[in-house]
Amino acid sequence: MGLNQFGVWDAKLITPTIVWFITVALVSLFRLRRAQTQPHFFRNLALGAIAAPVAVQFVLDMYPFELSTELVLQAGFVVLGILSGFSAGNPEYHRAHQVFNAMIVFLALVVALHSAFEIAAQWSRIDFLMEARKFALPIGMTAAFLPFMYAFALYATYETAAFRMRATVPVGTSVWKPALALALRTGLSLPKLNGVTPRTRFDMARATTVAGALKAFDEGQAAEAAILQEEAVKKQRLVDNAGLQGRDDAGKQLDQREFAETRNALSYLHLCHAGHYRQRGRYRDDMLDLLGADTFAKKGLPEGAVITMHVADDGQQWWAWRRTVTGWVFAIGASEAPSDRWEYDGPSVPSGGPGIDPNWRHFMVPVERHQHW
């Protein structure tokens, strides 16, 4: 029994139906990974079908221009949108960005005025019932599509979890009991299912009973909660100790803002140096320019953070340092071919690279209590 027999759908709605299928259903299926992991994916999908801009766009599209004119307009919107997006992140293109935005607004006004004129001119001939059905179509179809999409994403996520469990046990080992335990604990919740760590799945896969897998799940979740709690305590400690002078009982600095981010950035720089040395037989003196400031921003350093680097003339030694917001200095370097690594932290910049300043520590030497690497 088709929807047309209930008066919900008929052939006149074929075009908006196809448009909805391509722009919503098909696109959502191609975004399955986002649906599995992205918070609020389904809420945003639902809100997108009823948002105010949808109603505005519907009114503007009731009476489009001739095909050739419409194609030119749409191409203009696309090109100007790309140019506006590109210029938005470049202060030197600020004036051009304003011009592109003004041109977009102008085109939007042209479309709006055209639609308003056509609606006013053909007001008596508008089939308001049909237009209302066209407007309601994507809303209703999206509402009907959401449960299917959620079930599909849930099934795919469970299948992925079961596959990863099978990959950690000998070939032929059944994982239906751990998979059942996983379903019992996470239910129909994608966030809970995505929150299960690889270590927890690994332990569950080795359980021979459902009860054993449930126990492994509970222990894994408790361990993860403890880790999250520890991270929260560390973050709060950074806030509480901000600006404090002195050391703790272990001899470490109380104020450790930017310590972790600086270590991560310098360690990444060391990794890149090692990789290029293996290819070129020397350390590059342009490594910082090659990586760019954005690379270190992704490691957590603030915008404009400065890393100072020194490379020997023969390219066989290098070292780099950075001063954190607290004034504490971290440095890293190598005096030989990879995987040589030296580390330093202290109140002042090293007087030289590894082998010159005695406060450098080789990475194979255990870290002392008062050191921050």
Residues 322 and 306 sit within 8 Å (Cβ to Cβ) = yes
Give the pLDDT confidence score for residue 57 in this predicted structure.
Answer: 55
* Residue 365 CB contacts under 8 Å (≥ 6 apart), including other chains: none
Question: Which of left, alpha, beta for 281 (phi over 0: left; psi -120 to 50: alpha)?
Answer: left
Mean pLDDT of 184-211: 94
Give the pLDDT confidence score for residue 44 in this predicted structure.
Answer: 86
pLDDT classification of 313: cutoffs 50, 70, 90: very high
pLDDT classification of 124: cutoffs 50, 70, 90: confident
pLDDT classification of 282: cutoffs 50, 70, 90: very high
pLDDT classification of 178: cutoffs 50, 70, 90: very high
Mean pLDDT of 194-218: 95
Does residue 62 register a pLDDT over 70? Answer: no
CA 83, CA 306: separation in Å to the nearest integer?
31
Mean pLDDT of 104-129: 79
Does residue 193 register a pLDDT over 90? Answer: yes
Does residue 127 register a pLDDT over 70? Answer: yes
Q: Phi and psi for 327 in degrees, rounded to 5?
A: 100, -10
Give the pLDDT confidence score for residue 354 in this predicted structure.
Answer: 94
Alpha-carbon torsion (248, 250, 253, 255), positive or negative = negative
pLDDT classification of 119: cutoffs 50, 70, 90: confident
* Whole-number percent of the chain with pLDDT over 70: 90
Lowest mean pLDDT among 18-22, 197-201, 258-262, 359-363: 18-22
Give the pLDDT confidence score for residue 157 in this predicted structure.
Answer: 95
CA 301, CA 279: separation in Å to the nearest integer?
28
How does the average pLDDT of the chain come out, rounded? 87
Tell me the per-residue pLDDT of 5-54, one tens digit each, with 9 for 90 and over. 555 566 667 766 776 787 778 888 888 888 888 888 998 888 876 665 45
Mean pLDDT of 97-115: 83
**Which H or E run contains 362?**
strand 361-362
Tell me the per-residue pLDDT of 221-251, one tens digit each, with 9 for 90 and over. 999 999 999 999 999 999 999 999 999 988 8
Give the pLDDT confidence score for residue 1 in this predicted structure.
Answer: 44
Does residue 112 register a pLDDT over 50? Answer: yes
User: By C-alpha distance, which of 196, 154, 194 is closest to 178?
Assistant: 196
Does residue 177 register a pLDDT over 80? Answer: yes
User: By C-alpha distance, which of 90, 89, 64 is closest to 77?
Assistant: 64
Mean pLDDT of 293-300: 88
Does residue 167 register a pLDDT over 80? Answer: yes
Residue ranges per domain, the chain?
Answer: 3-148, 167-236, 259-362
Does residue 207 register a pLDDT over 70? Answer: yes
Question: How distant is the alpha carbon of residue 144 from its chain centre?
Answer: 29
